[in-house]
Amino acid sequence: MNKNQLGTSDLFVSELALGCMSLGTDVKKAQAIVDRALDKGINYFDTADLYDQGQNEEIVGQALKGKRDQVVLATKVGNHLKEDGSWFWDPSKHYIKQQVKESLRRLQTDYIDLYQLHGGTIDDPIDETIEAFEELKQDGLIRYYGISSIRPNVIREYVKKSNIVSVMMQYSLFDRRPEESVLDLLHENNISVVARGPLAKGMLSDNASNVVKTKGKEGYLGYSYDELQAMIQKLEETEANSNLTTTALQYVLAHPTVASAVFGASSVEQLENNVSFQQHKPLTTEQYQQLQQITKPINYDKHR
């Protein structure tokens, strides 16, 4: 699988990444999915301390045991878990430096390749948060850091003030908000995008029509249910490649600042279906523009 440089770092990540939140809590099943992902050339695994209240990090750490040097391991911080399972937002320096130790323990590793702030608002103590990440780099506990956010005002602050190498954000044919201004800004500053939700909750998968009936029945972002169904029909009629999953993944990867598209897989079969996209040629400029004409750009209405 092709690998792309993550920002200005020396990390080279597979163009598809496994979002580990969907692995579930069945250790044997999760191990099989991770092993197959490695077999298919995926080297980039993304988790978070919040997923399954820390259990996901434990499962990922166990699944990657003995293979740590083969992978780029990313996790996230900022959602302060309480004993009752609830959480509150906490981007404080104290919490970040405390929590990284717990993530390292659960992941069974002594360093994290990419440590990400799991959200963020313009009212956060941003300078303090950046200071925490920089100190963790100096201590060798993390190699690089990034943020996970779709908020333009927050992203601009980190671009100006920090050494982030990546921004994880929701981006798909159905959610083209990043195209408004954020993608070009990050590209100009040599900061990579990691696209999450490239299949729009499965509404851009090979089973799109059925998925839209459930997950899109109340609409999705600026689209009504009827608009979603109409777009799916047009996309299926004008598929650039053999299937809609491939087309959707190739669309987000076409922008030069997108280093990797993150997808979840709850089964080996689902994973194999998603990685089959690499058997097809990238989109041509004409195909890319045709896809843009079928969907529509959506603007951010908050956090500008």
Enclosing H/E stretch for 261 = strand 258-264
When pLDDT is averaged across residues 285-295 and rounded to a whole number, the result is 92
Nearest to 117 by CA among 102, 139, 100, 140: 100
Q: Is residue 297 part of a domain?
A: no
When pLDDT is averaged across residues 126-132 and rounded to a whole number, the result is 97
Nearest to 113 by CA among 38, 43, 34, 213: 43
Planar angle of CA 252, 154, 137, nearest 5 degrees: 90
Do 197 and 173 contact (CB within 8 A), yes or no? no
With a pLDDT cut of 70, the percent of the chain lying above it is 98
Query: CA-to-CA distance for 199 and 187, rounded, in angstroms?
Result: 23
When pLDDT is averaged across residues 160-169 and rounded to a whole number, the result is 97
Q: The domain spanning residue 15 has which CATH number?
A: 3.20.20.100
pLDDT at residue number 169: 96
What band does 112 get if pLDDT is binned at 50, 70 and 90? Answer: very high
Q: pLDDT, tens digit, for every residue of 3-24?
A: 999 999 999 999 999 998 888 8
Q: Is 68 helix (H, G, I), strand (E, B) or coil?
A: helix
When pLDDT is averaged across residues 241-245 and rounded to a whole number, the result is 77
What are the φ and ψ backbone dihedral angles of 234, each rounded to 5 degrees? -65, -40
pLDDT at residue number 240: 52
Query: CA-to-CA distance for 30 and 123, rounded, in angstroms?
Result: 37
- Parallel, antiparallel, or unpaired: how do β-strands 16-19 and 44-46 relate? parallel
Q: With 60 as the cut, is the pLDDT of residue 134 above it?
A: yes
Q: Is residue 288 part of a domain?
A: no
Q: Is residue 157 part of a domain?
A: yes
Q: Is residue 142 part of a domain?
A: yes
Question: Please, which residues bridge with residue 121 across strands?
Answer: none
Q: pLDDT, tens digit, for every residue of 41-60?
A: 999 999 988 877 778 999 99
pLDDT at residue number 88: 83
> What's the mean pLDDT when you consider all of the chain?
92
Between the CA atoms of 46, 49, 54 and 59, what dihedral angle is there, to the nearest 10 degrees?
20
Nearest to 248 by CA among 280, 220, 213, 218: 280
Q: Is residue 229 part of a domain?
A: no
When pLDDT is averaged across residues 165-185 and rounded to a whole number, the result is 95
pTM: 0.94
Do 112 and 104 contact (CB within 8 A), yes or no? yes
Query: How many domains does the chain contain in total?
Result: 1
Enclosing H/E stretch for 183 = helix 182-188
Show the tokens assigned to 65: 């045991």
When pLDDT is averaged across residues 171-184 and rounded to a whole number, the result is 94
Domain span at 18: 3-202+252-282
Q: Is residue 257 part of a domain?
A: yes
Residues known to be catalytic? 51
With a pLDDT cut of 90, the percent of the chain lying above it is 73
pLDDT at residue number 241: 52
pLDDT at residue number 55: 83
When pLDDT is averaged across residues 181-208 and rounded to a whole number, the result is 94
Lowest-confidence region among 115-124, 210-219, 293-302 = 293-302
Q: Is residue 210 part of a domain?
A: no
Cα within 13 Å of Cα(13), Cβ side = 30
Query: CA-to-CA distance for 271 and 274, rounded, in angstroms?
Result: 5
When pLDDT is averaged across residues 190-198 and rounded to a whole number, the result is 97
Enclosing H/E stretch for 126 = helix 126-138
Q: Is residue 244 part of a domain?
A: no
Q: With 80 as the cut, is the pLDDT of residue 176 above it?
A: yes
pLDDT at residue number 25: 87
